[in-house]
Amino acid sequence: MDKLLIEGGRRLCGEVRISGAKNAALPILAATLLSEAPVAVGNIPHLRDITTMLELLGGMGVKFLVDEKMVIEADASHIHSPLAPYELVKTMRASILVLGPLLTRFGEAVVSLPGGCAIGARPVDLHLKGLSAMGADIRVENGYIHASAKRLKGSRLVLDQVTVTGTENLLMAAVLAQGKTTIENAAREPEVTDLALFLERLGAKIQGIGTDVLEIEGVTSLGKPGLYYEVQPDRIETGTYLTAAAITQGQVKTTRTRPDLLDSVLDKLNQAGAEIETGSDWIELNMPDRPRAVSLRTAPYPAFPTDMQAQLMALNGIAQGVGIITETIFENRFMHVLELRRLGADISIEGNTAICRGVETLQGAPIMATDLRASASLVLAALAAQGETIVDRIYHIDRGYEQIEEKLTQLGAVIRRVA
């Protein structure tokens, strides 16, 4: 199993190009199931989760052409199976995103519960509740969702809580439904907006894009010959590299990105003492002194993103003062705390709140990644730590960060992958 070997204590400086957003690319790839004509999607990041989605769609009969720039042309005109098997779904919860497109276009979907989770314990029940309201016949048997409908019917859907994948699944289901669908309390995340804009390019009729109320007028078919769509840049990757600059008191410019998607993150980095300049598609951060601790509370967009919580906790680990971080989106999202403590961080947990008391230096140690964003926080902490750190189970980080060791190396980090 691969590991990252990091020699910390070096100031990061330079320029890094940001990849396409994984969390936008995955639903957009799932949405190619809706198109009757081949569609090309560009700025796709080369990640394990992308490979899993292509394997999932390929098993259903989608044909792909991939060029050297990772532009993927998808042809869903010959689907022969509506099955999303457990073997693939268990490795990536975003696989649930094929449920809505399969059901609305082909009238049937058989999709494994993500990770075998129980209905009611995770927001997947919101997907099923919405699809049922649109006329789908749904049953759950042996860990699989079996859904069928001759044609979904438009409905008013009020989501009990904000859910990104739930909004995306119901949006994709609605674009081919009969009549009008309204999704209230819809997620406003930029990745949902990117999906909606892609669906519009396919020919969908959607009002309220970027707001918490989406109105969709169903059409009978989607797809336009020769369509090309480019995925937006990854705001979380951008935030991660900017935080890497901050935690090493460095100066890094991120390019091919979108400053307008990162207001809450840039605000916290500014509070930490960073000097930030932005352009139309770039952000440059300089941290001249030791960072100041910041307090934050995660919440749905446009508030501070849960996917940046772990990275800011790593920054607080070496900052001046005390920072209080409250996690409101996911349970068990403080698993990185135990590993940060192994590096010498002073962090205590009270319920869904972490109290971070900054220390002057962290010390390298063997640590283990527990999930995607936790693994990013451990890499950031290792970059700031004195001595050598070995980060184990980095398959998590390969799910969401393209060529992370190469990009960090070009910024001056001493990092390499070892078996």
Q: Would you say 47 and 33 are in contact if contact means Cβ atoms under 8 Å apart?
A: no
Buried (b) or exposed (e) across 291-300, using 16+ Cβ within 10 A? bbbbbbebbb
d(CA 109, CA 115): 17
Distance from C-alpha of 376 to C-alpha of 261, rounded to nearest angstrom? 20
d(CA 313, CA 340): 9
User: How far apart (Å, rounded) are the C-alpha atoms in residues 80 and 211?
Assistant: 36
What is the Cα–Cα distance from 208 to 27, expressed in whole angstroms?
Answer: 19
Phi, psi of 74 (to 5 degrees): -115, 135
Q: Which residue shows structure tokens 């009978």?
A: 220
**Is omega for the bond preceding 366 within 30 degrees of 0, making it cis?**
no
Catalytic residues: 117
Judged on CB neighbours under 10 Å (0-12, 13-18, 19+), 237 is buried
Q: Are 415 and 6 in contact (CB under 8 A)?
A: yes
Residue 198 · residue 204 · CB < 8 Å: no
